[in-house]
Structure 1
């Protein structure tokens, strides 16, 4: 009636979990860096190419 969970099964589970979490964290960081680069690029374009900027008085 009782299940025997050997130490080998529990030993594999944390390492598999750690590997999965490490991969997820790496993907999340890459996604966040890409978002930050895109935002910085948008800000640079907005400040440099403002068509209604300083030429309103002309």
Structure 2
């Protein structure tokens, strides 16, 4: 029974580590988009940025 508990704990630890890495990656992607997005917004007019808006 303790073996199952150890397996569960290891699984939880792996999941927690994977979630932390995923969060780090997503934050880095968001920072990259924000820094490149600011440049892209400066280069486009509002009509170019959203063609559906008039």
TM-score between both structures, scaled by the size of structure 2: 0.72
Determine the structure 2 residue equivalent to 1:10. 4
- Which structure's CA Rg is the greater one? 1
| Structure 1 runs of 4+ with >4 Å offset | none
* RMSD (CA atoms): 1.6
Determine the structure 1 residue equivalent to 2:36. 42
Q: RCO (CA 8 Å, sep 6+): is it higher in 1 or 2?
A: 2
Question: 1:19 is matched with which residue: 13, 37, 40?
Answer: 13
Unaligned runs of 5+ in 1: 1-6, 54-58
